[in-house]
Structure 1
């Protein structure tokens, strides 16, 4: 009898030990531990406890949760599909995570998107958001790329920035981040509207299509023009490039960034540098530094020169926010807090004491970066005319391209 009891005890002990190993490897076993030793005061404590109670994630046998431990693609996919209650119709076979992958694929959450690495690869934040957007947001399109999904996720409040204006798309995903995002996915699916991080949304938008105007200027661009089938006409960042007639000079817009001059925490405020930019009105020139009461919209371009380009002066390509009512208004503002229309600003050339509309250069080959822009009012004047973003190549006679357009709501 004593031998049988000992044998039974050893068998139970072995089973528990093996269960702990499997749990640590797959993170699929439901844990009954709620008071983990390492989450008190953690920013994700509430979400972790909620997720554990829901049963789609657990802790470790030593009583820890390890909130800052990175998760793999497989672990996140397993958590997400379990939280959503998804089951694979084809069942489970192969690796421990295969049923979760099958379920995600059948639900349209995963579409063979991971072209490199394995399911054991640590999951970048942009991949986490790819699956999360498909799982939680209605109306997404399967052909949205990683950056578009990141933007849609940030706009819906599924993901926040890691610091002001930094969404860290290639950063790895921790267990805490994973459960917080999954809890937000579940909230969105319940019909809740979540708060979003405006700076993160703007950063994601720049990654998506080189601009943050949809985030920063909804009062101007919140009612975009539509196609015949009623779909929105997308922002055409692919058109913001030009090549000279001889093919030796290429100019492309790398960023079109709106900065709120009244927001000291605007993550792009560093573009408003000391005495580098000036704007003009009624034959007077004013410093951009210290301006307030308006938006500064910066266009940054890269101009690439090849050997034997044959010029020492270039007018850079540019973007412009155009409105015909603005065009007809006089350039008479003396204060940026009371603008009646748009006002252009350019780099200031201290050597010649004038605005730099173009670039003089003796460069033989290489790349020059140039920035200029517009000041625009905080609120648009009442106008029935479109607000249009136009691109001017300036390197050849190719006309002006329309990048985006919207009417006031």
Structure 2
């Protein structure tokens, strides 16, 4: 593609990378310490191939260098695929320079029109799997703690990464833990260009192509966190709307609780159960259930959620709010507590909630439940909503921030 446009590979990738960086920032992702580029690690790739040849795990043939899969006794351990079964199911049209059907390319020749680098085996370029092993070696060492990726990369990509790294350095593992995320779905169907339902984070953030509106990054983040990372994540308009409503409830609870008279630190200790859930294979759905419990503390929660409260005192509510703030911060959702958080995108949902509370207040007034009426008025005031009761029995409102 770079050749077609008459630009360098770096120029081609810069535009896409800029969009990607902006998108992940909008999702609340922390910037990584290192963002390596494969083209800047050719020396490490060549060194890795030389190690594999020297240890008898790779061989040069017809300008290529290939990994000798049968030389690794437990190849296939990650994907739980026995080597003999994989060999039996290999393609018939195997390249003549391969010793074995399952052997994969470490280095291959480049045509004059293709990107290439000088190497001991001639001008060429790395195979698909080699660059990942080389970059992780450079920046994380011969072994490291956590390796992530999509479930579709388990075989052959991650299996071959493991083979390269372990055989080059002689270790039992490449990474101690493998975290594979599930496929993306849209309205219950697997996301794919062939189905015409392919949607990017950039489109969700900046266009009205999905659900007729733009979606805040925090809403997308929570929608993803509500599903365990190993399971398919289903993007539906309903799920995004529910995620947005949940964020608004949490924000309102914190605003109401911290507006009470007693003074308390803005942040509290993280709930132990919350941390235990995250330590259990990053079980974010269970951790979020703990946040729901915190937001159901006290009369402000009863007002907001329409449920029985578990504690009534202002101090208890403030403690819960402080812990909720800490949990939101750890999950990268603390920006929802900013008073200016995405006002333009939540106005409709917020308006519906205000109208619902006003209707509940109208019912309370009709039944002469003045205490309930006053509580609702106070809650709306804390949200910045001013009410005006008219002589004809109607109530109008406006937002004063």
The reply to whether TM is greater than 0.5 is no
TM-score bracket for the superposition, by shorter chain length? under 0.3
* TM-score, reference length from structure 1: 0.26
Q: Of the two structures, which has the highest relative contact order with CA contacts closer than 8 Å and spacing of 6 or more? A: 1
Name the one with the larger strand percent.
1
